Amino acid sequence: MMVPVRCFTCGKVVSEHWEEFDERANQGEEDPQAVLDDLGVERYCCRRMLVSHTDLVDVVSPYQ
């Protein structure tokens, strides 16, 4: 599924950071905390949106 556009708690736009966060975190460049700090995501509610997101497109697509 797509990453939510806005944070559920505060309403700040978080989807603009998803691609870079996902790319850098999966490459093992840095730990997720350092990547989020570098991207400027400061609020813990917004960090939760990015860190806890699971991409389920491959899992859901056979059932459509």
CATH code at position 21: 1.10.10.60
Read off the pTM.
0.78
In a domain, 47, yes or no: yes
The pLDDT score that the predictor gives to residue 8 is: 93
Tell me the per-residue pLDDT of 5-58, one tens digit each, with 9 for 90 and over. 999 999 999 999 999 998 888 887 778 889 999 999 999 999 999 988 887 777
In a domain, 63, yes or no: no
Give me the count of residues in the chain.
Answer: 64
In a domain, 61, yes or no: no
- What is 6-45 written as a DSSP string? B-TTT--B-GGGHHHHHHHHHHTSS-HHHHHHHHT---HH
Q: DSSP 3-state assignment of 56?
A: coil
* Domain count within the chain: 1
- Residue 1's pLDDT band, with cuts at 50, 70 and 90, is low
In a domain, 32, yes or no: yes
In a domain, 45, yes or no: yes
**Host domain of residue 31:** 1-54
